[in-house]
């Protein structure tokens, strides 16, 4: 991802962020939309039952694999959306994420508490948007 093609903005007129960007400007390139990923391994088996950190780590491994299949990497991510059963566990979700990726430029991000996901054992789901040349 070239610096001129993508700009990450955290203006001083907004509150400081916790490892995300308030705005991302994209010029040209190819956008990749990754469907919501949950904590399953390649066989479809749940990883990290009852553990937000372990599930988050698996979710980001799955996002990484989906991006690689499309010719991108985690550092190309410009937007993440988190769907979490209990938002009080957001710090654990971030810990799991940080075990897999340290973004050079944190993407724009949204976290939402939801009543349920497709499987009651899933604690979170994350979708991503990436940009590559």
Residue 10 lies in a domain: no
Which CATH number goes with the domain that contains 46?
A: 3.30.1330.40
Q: Encode pLDDT of 89-116 as tens digits.
A: 999 999 999 999 988 888 999 999 999 9
Structural domain range at position 79: 35-132
As a whole number of angstroms, the distance between CA 53 and CA 90 comes to 9
> How many independent structural domains does the chain possess?
1
For residue 21 the two structure tokens come to 């960007």
> Global pTM?
0.86
Please tell me what DSSP assigns to residue 88: G
As a whole number of angstroms, the distance between CA 23 and CA 28 comes to 17
| pLDDT at residue number 126 | 98
Residue 81 lies in a domain: yes
As a whole number of angstroms, the distance between CA 116 and CA 19 comes to 26
Contact 122, 38 (CB under 8 A): yes
Residue 120 lies in a domain: yes
Q: Name residues of the chain where pLDDT drops below 50.
A: none
| pLDDT at residue number 2 | 56
């Amino acid at each position: 991802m070239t610096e001129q093609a993508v700009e990450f903005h955290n203006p001083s007129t907004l509150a400081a962020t916790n490892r995300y960007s308030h705005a991302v400007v994209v010029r040209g390139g190819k956008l990749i939309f990754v469907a919501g990923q949950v904590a399953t391994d390649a066989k479809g088996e749940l990883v990290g039952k009852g553990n937000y950190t372990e599930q988050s780590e698996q979710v980001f491994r799955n996002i990484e694999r989906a991006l690689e299949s499309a010719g991108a990497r985690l550092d190309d991510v410009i937007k993440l959306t988190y769907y979490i059963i209990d938002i009080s566990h957001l710090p654990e979700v971030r810990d799991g994420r940080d075990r897999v990726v340290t973004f050079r430029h944190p993407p724009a991000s949204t976290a939402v508490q939801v009543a349920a996901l497709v499987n009651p054992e899933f604690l979170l789901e994350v979708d991503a948007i990436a940009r590559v040349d």
